[in-house]
Structure 1
Amino acid sequence: MTRPDTTTLEILERLIAFPTVSRDPNAPLMDYVAGLLRGAGIEPILVPNADGSKANLFASVGGAEGGVMLSGHTDVVPVDGQDWTRPPFALTEGGGRLYGRGTADMKGFVASALAAMLRAAGTRLASPLHLALSYDEELGCLGAHSLIALLRQGPARPAMCIVGEPTGLNVATGHKGKTGLRAVCKGVEAHSALAPTGLNALHLAADLMAVIRAHQSRLAEEGLRDGDYDVPYSTLHVGKLNGGVALNIVPNLAVMEFELRNLAGDDPETLLAPIRRSADGLRDIARTRFPEADVTIEVFNAYPGLDTPDSASVVRFVKSLTGANGTIKVAFGTEGGLFSTELGVPTVVCGPGSMAQGHKADEYLETEQLARCDAMLDALLERLRAGL
């Protein structure tokens, strides 16, 4: 069985040992990465968050203009409540698999990309190699925004980008956009024995949820379709509903969070407009009896989809590195849509492993996949030495 590069495995072992769950700092991991790069003569740029507990990182070898940017995130999802049979924050190997939280999503690619940066530092490149690492991707690509702000200032202008999320090293040209929304429903409290004299905020939220579900059904039956996706239409999903203090009190507040994942051809605000109108209607009806009533909807997070044409040069280029014939689209979101829409950098998603192994107990990455990723990046370095 083909083995990954020794340096890649060594780096991956160190990366897995950092428990960079999104709710926790990633600064220790970034300090390690920065030290690794500096040891090879590469000076990284760190972009910290407000309190310095987290940071993005950007680095280049071989110049600033053109070349290829490798992008990955450093945060992982929690292990709480999962039945792991192996230590989640220690790299272990067995049966051709590398186990640990983040092996597939997506520290395997980050390790391979870092090893490629170290190899690039010891050679002469005609076109540069760039590395972009971000935080809080699992929370909705939050960290990437300040990284994009840095790149707008001009430390580098990549010609193309490879986001290394797990695709089985297939070349993915698209993913849906996402909008996270919070609905706040305000009612009027009362003793539950006199429930009709109050306005139940949870009931308001339930009425709004029924609107969302009806709109989802219409999208499934009548909406725009893209057969390259497993779910070929835009989707709405309610993920959280909180409200109420005690069973014998009519609740005066309910907070519901829901999301829209839209196809590239669907405008998010156009899809959300009927839901906003219905929310206003629910509020107006409630106010005929209770002037205090309210239903508001706010966006708390959003990122665009990715829709790179199959004819784009970045698609042909990455297919030539992997030997792939076709392309795919993926269900999950990435920072690739931001790089494409906000920076104008042509982007594809291509990395080792499968998201089917991510976000669950005993997450793993096949050693063969990591070895193939190293081979892909070796091929990339050869192309960069010759010039794009």
Structure 2
Amino acid sequence: MTDAAALLSDLVAIPSVCRTPNGGIVALVRDHLARHGVEAAVLPGPEGDRANLFATIGPRDVPGIVLSGHLDVVPAGEGWTGDPFALRRMGDRLVGRGAVDMKGFVACMLALVPEMVAAPLRRPIHLALSYDEEVGCVGVRHMIARLPELCATPLGCIVGEPSEMRPVLRHKGKVAGRLTVRGRAGHSSRPDLADNAVHLAADIVGLVRATHERFLREGPFHPLFEPASSTLQVGVIAGGTGVNVVPDTCRVEWEARAVPGTDPMTVHDALQAGIADLVAPLQAAGRAVAVESEILSLYPALDLADDAPLRGLAEAWSGHAALGAVSYGTEAGLFQAAGIPSIICGPGRIAEAHRPDESIGLADLEACCAMLRRVIADQA
């Protein structure tokens, strides 16, 4: 466990916050692999200052197993009792930003590289590390698009998000967006001469709430999830400059979570149609209103069949029975959409993620390394 904990310390020490350059942490991983004779492909994204990393141990021309993780973390924020980017031990736990989400899994992957290299692998093990997962699974899309030139189509993918080492078969898909509502400013004493953007935004919020309530009543439903339907909610609303000014702009940010079998974009499209129905009669009456829309994040649901071979393999490797569904989202749905059977299985508890004093147990790292050793043995 010393190697995994030391590697985790090195990873946490690089504050690879989402939407920021990640050259430092990519170089750390690349150099670690090079020391063990493993060549890594660094795959820059279109942003120009961020990159994915993909490496293969074993033969490239036969199907193998992908071990997938992301290198970015959410901002540290307030409430920490120590430096969030200096890993420290508290009892049997290691505390630091990204310790559980998900540099702990990455550290275990890297700690097992010498054993992967030493094993007589008949099937390859691929290490796939992405950027900006935390803001909508951004980087992994570019890496998945490059896979055909990097390796044979994999047999399966393990996404090591924290699941207490229980394989997870399903999660909801997601789409999130921003609406910029435009109106016409004016003095509050003559609102009849202006067009209040906040009022129109409030009507849109009502539409979001009504659509969400319709999902709860009418479905479609998936019994393994809580709630069992797709959901829709507004998370941010901001507009106006003063109580005596009719506001001409209001921003609304919303999010939908869609059960497997429902394309998240169908929720987006239904919302857009409802907004168009609100705006069209106002514009026809000569009101100076408009709504601009942009998508902030989008990823599909994960839906691995109960009888999928990867389920049985993951249960054997982890030593735990599979869990039907979780409420959080991952990159696994994108691998699945690319034709690669995917499952979630990683160390630690999701409840530790995104909070002050985020931590992972030493026993969690040990259990993850034990699982990875079984993966290695199965590929030899």
TM-score under structure 1 normalisation?
Answer: 0.94
AA at the equivalent of 2:344: V
Which residue does the alignment assign to 1:246? 242
Q: Is the aligned partner of 1:53 residue 2:49?
A: yes
> How far off is 1:379 after superposition?
1.0
Q: Is the aligned partner of 1:75 residue 2:65?
A: no
Report the secondary structure of 2:7's partner residue.
Answer: helix
Which residue does the alignment assign to 2:282? 286
The match for 2:118 among 122, 143, 146 is 122
In 1: Cα distance, 2:265 partner to 2:125 partner: 37
Which residue does the alignment assign to 2:295? 299
Which residue does the alignment assign to 1:347? 342
In 1: Cα distance, 2:369 partner to 2:264 partner: 38
Which residue does the alignment assign to 2:97? 101
> How far off is 1:72 after superposition?
0.3
Q: Is the aligned partner of 1:317 residue 2:313?
A: yes
Task: Flag the 1:152–1:196 CA change in 2: closer, same or farther, 3 A.
Answer: farther
The match for 1:382 among 364, 377, 380 is 377
Which residue does the alignment assign to 2:200? 204
Which residue does the alignment assign to 1:137? 133
> How far off is 1:208 after superposition?
0.4
1:28-82: CA deviation from partner (whole Å, max 9, x where unpaired)? 01101000001111000001134542110000001112111100000111112x2
Report the secondary structure of 2:311's partner residue.
Answer: helix
AA at the equivalent of 1:378: R
Q: Is the aligned partner of 1:42 residue 2:67?
A: no
- Do 1:117 and 1:129's aligned partners in 2 also have CA atoms closer than 8 Å? no
Q: Is the aligned partner of 1:363 residue 2:351?
A: no
> How far off is 1:247 after superposition?
3.0
Range that drifts further, 101-110 or 275-284: 275-284
AA at the equivalent of 1:373: C
Range that drifts further, 175-184 or 140-149: 175-184
The percent identity for this pair of structures is: 38
In 2: Cα distance, 1:113 partner to 1:226 partner: 33
Task: Flag the 1:374–1:358 CA change in 2: closer, same or farther, 3 A.
Answer: same
- Do 1:106 and 1:166's aligned partners in 2 also have CA atoms closer than 8 Å? yes
The count of residues paired between Structure 1 and Structure 2 equals 379
The match for 1:326 among 309, 315, 322 is 322
Report the secondary structure of 1:131's partner residue.
Answer: strand
Which residue does the alignment assign to 2:63? 66
AA at the equivalent of 2:110: L
- Matches of residues 144-155 of structure 1 in structure 2 within 5 Å? 144-155=140-151
> How far off is 1:296 after superposition?
3.9
In 2: Cα distance, 1:19 partner to 1:335 partner: 21
> How far off is 1:154 after superposition?
4.1
1:146-205: CA deviation from partner (whole Å, max 9, x where unpaired)? 101111334342111000000000110111111112222211111112122211011111
Range that drifts further, 243-252 or 268-277: 268-277
In 2: Cα distance, 1:112 partner to 1:153 partner: 27
In 2: Cα distance, 1:191 partner to 1:287 partner: 21
In 1: Cα distance, 2:190 partner to 2:262 partner: 45
1:321-377: CA deviation from partner (whole Å, max 9, x where unpaired)? 112233231111111111111x20100000000110110011011111111001000
Report the secondary structure of 1:329's partner residue.
Answer: coil
Report the secondary structure of 2:112's partner residue.
Answer: helix
- Do 1:188 and 1:290's aligned partners in 2 also have CA atoms closer than 8 Å? no
1:191-240: CA deviation from partner (whole Å, max 9, x where unpaired)? 11212221101111110000100111111122122222232211112122
Cα RMSD of the aligned pairs, angstroms, is 1.5
Report the secondary structure of 1:301's partner residue.
Answer: strand
In 1: Cα distance, 2:159 partner to 2:270 partner: 34
- Do 2:263 and 2:300's aligned partners in 1 also have CA atoms closer than 8 Å? no
In 1: Cα distance, 2:22 partner to 2:294 partner: 29
In 2: Cα distance, 1:168 partner to 1:155 partner: 30
- Do 1:16 and 1:101's aligned partners in 2 also have CA atoms closer than 8 Å? yes
Q: Is the aligned partner of 1:113 residue 2:109?
A: yes
In 2: Cα distance, 1:300 partner to 1:9 partner: 35
- Do 1:199 and 1:290's aligned partners in 2 also have CA atoms closer than 8 Å? no
Range that drifts further, 49-58 or 62-71: 49-58
> How far off is 1:293 after superposition?
1.6
AA at the equivalent of 1:230: E
AA at the equivalent of 2:67: L
Gaps of 5+ in 1: none
In 1: Cα distance, 2:353 partner to 2:6 partner: 21
